[in-house]
Structure 1
Amino acid sequence: MDVIYNPFGSASRPAVVFRGRAAAPGTCGELVQGTLQGEPFLITCPVDLWSEVSVELSHYGEPRADLDKSCRAARLTLQYLGLEYACVSIKRVSVLPESKGMGSSTADIAATCLATARAVGRELEPAVIAKIAAQIEPSDGQMFPGIMIINHLTGEPKKYLGQAPPLDLVVADPGGSVDTIIFNSRKDLASKNFQKEPMVKQAIELVARGLLTEDWEMMGRGATISAQANQVVLPKPHLALWRQWAAELRALGVLVAHSGTVMGMILRPGGVDPREAADFVRRKKPEWTVWHTSMISGGLR
């Protein structure tokens, strides 16, 4: 916790400002997402791309923030802590694109929750942060350590699957955007998820077993099955082509943002260099936005 004095209080009564910082990783969509017996869930896929947030709290002055979801996260965190501050100022530095399925909103919200708590000398458990996040919008779950199964609508953690494998990813965004809240409000979503449940069940078993046994090829097969199953919910027009390129590059499999636009390719250890793989995609589709990054275990810092 940093405590600073800021002159926006008054000349005779300087405002004491409490400052906290935190950072949260983004995601490359999800390894698996769908429903099991009607209950929604996802398997997290945190990546080494971050949102960093600083929060300042004071009893004097005017709020300074243009981030509506983060403001709500800060207020809900203070409410959880039983505190109230007139002035909540939030600053964010993020490399995560918005409305693409890379967990940008969840990263902002989660980092804001923890930064707010740290401003008053407190820490928050991931389950508390996830519950606060879910009050604002469905959560991608990257505040939890390792790789987790969570209910993304409630933020409830279901099962820890282990640490992230040491694998590189190529991420491509062909364009467009998806609003997470609108997507999860679709009237046909429950029926579409029910339709793909058999494939999702197979996918979750393969991913969970692959992570447990460090069989990354098995994990990749499971992620690919989930990506294909999601075509009945949110079709990716280029998924067949993406899978073809993954085969040409001998990738372990593909994954998608199940409620976003991006597609990921899980590269084989010791195989094609991620920079070369990203350049391969750029040559094929120069109009796409392409990154390369790596899978990491979740958790805030």
Structure 2
Amino acid sequence: MSSGTAAAPGTCGELVQGTIKGEPFLVTCPVDLWSEVTVEFNPGSKPGASLDKSWQALKLTMNYLGRSAEGVAIRRKSILPEGKGMASSTADIAATCLATARACGQELPPETIAKIAAQVEPSDGQMFPGIMLCNHLTGEPKKYLGQAPPLDIVIADPGGSVDTVLFNCRQDLASKNFQKEPMVKQALELVTRGLLTGDWEMMGRGATISAQANQLMLPKPYLALWRQWAAEVGALGVVVAHSGTIMGMIMDPGGVDPREVADFIKRRKPEWMVWSTSMINGGLR
């Protein structure tokens, strides 16, 4: 009997998402919240319940490695909520790919993991190191934008859920993306320049523009209020799940304590789920 374990970070939505000249892309926003998967070869074992996407990833990985997927079990430990836009499925899938390879005594590069993940569903790019611009439909990495800034993020979930697969099958997706391309291009330029120069306020402005542009695609009823609160607490900007429900505030490290901001929000919206975490570099462990 052999086993392998791997962990993948989730995300706080995306710093930028949309299309440029019709090509879809996103810029990852990995956070310090993880999904850990263990794959174990054990004759007679069965895949874990409610892990259909991980099971698809396992079979695709085994096929890539030229191995049979018989007698394999999957175990997952995750604190990432599902259907919120925190890349919980991508984290599970990516961790499963690497755990499967490790159970076979091998490692897989992030490019291979991303391609496998994209065969299961549109995926984020948190398997790549640092902050990456990638095509979330094909899994292809397009541009490494740099290291994650040392910033905290306050995250809120007002409720509800979004199915990533159904969202990306929308008939109006291409036309809506085309309409918001000018704002998305501006957002990408600011985020790219901000990461390159260490100007976190510029990066935050870019993320905020992308969040606002996404109101055309998936309106968030509380985004205006969220931006108002972000200004009141001196946040660098806001970030959203472009195909999910969550919203985040990017906090200035010299400003208000993120835990105080979380308490500030909880007092005003006690029915929301609110927590704080930090931005980290992408990459599996």
User: Which TM-score applies when normalising by structure 2?
Assistant: 0.99
Q: Could you tell me the percent identity over the aligned residues?
A: 77
Provide Cα deviations, 1:153-210, integer angstroms capped at 9, x if missing partner: 0000000000000000000000000000000000001000000000000000000000
Matched, 1:299 2:283: yes
Alpha-carbon distance between aligned partners in 2 of 1:164 and 1:253, rounded to the nearest angstrom? 15
Provide Cα deviations, 1:225-256, integer angstroms capped at 9, x if missing partner: 00000000000000000000000000000010
Report if the CA contact (8 A) 2:58-2:69 is conserved. no
What's 1:57 paired with?
41
Provide Cα deviations, 1:262-299, integer angstroms capped at 9, x if missing partner: 00000011111011010011011000000100000000
Letter in 2 for 1:172: A
1:1-301 pair list within 5 angstroms? 17-58=1-42, 60-66=43-49, 67-301=51-285
Unaligned 5+ segments in structure 1 are 1-16
SS in 1 for 2:128: coil
Q: CA deviation at 1:57?
A: 1.7
User: Which TM-score applies when normalising by structure 1?
Assistant: 0.94
Alpha-carbon distance between aligned partners in 1 of 2:246 and 2:47, rounded to the nearest angstrom? 32
What's 1:13 paired with?
none
Letter in 1 for 2:164: T
Alpha-carbon distance between aligned partners in 2 of 1:209 and 1:125, rounded to the nearest angstrom? 27
Provide Cα deviations, 1:68-88, integer angstroms capped at 9, x if missing partner: 000010110010011114111
Alpha-carbon distance between aligned partners in 2 of 1:289 and 1:160, rounded to the nearest angstrom? 32
Q: CA deviation at 1:62?
A: 3.4
Computing the radius of gyration from Cα coordinates, the structure with the larger value is: 1
Alpha-carbon distance between aligned partners in 2 of 1:39 and 1:105, rounded to the nearest angstrom? 23
Alpha-carbon distance between aligned partners in 1 of 2:275 and 2:10, rounded to the nearest angstrom? 13
Query: When the two structures are aligned, how many residues end up with a matched partner?
Result: 284
Alpha-carbon distance between aligned partners in 2 of 1:97 and 1:135, rounded to the nearest angstrom? 22
Alpha-carbon distance between aligned partners in 2 of 1:277 and 1:171, rounded to the nearest angstrom? 10
Report if the CA contact (8 A) 2:14-2:28 is conserved. yes
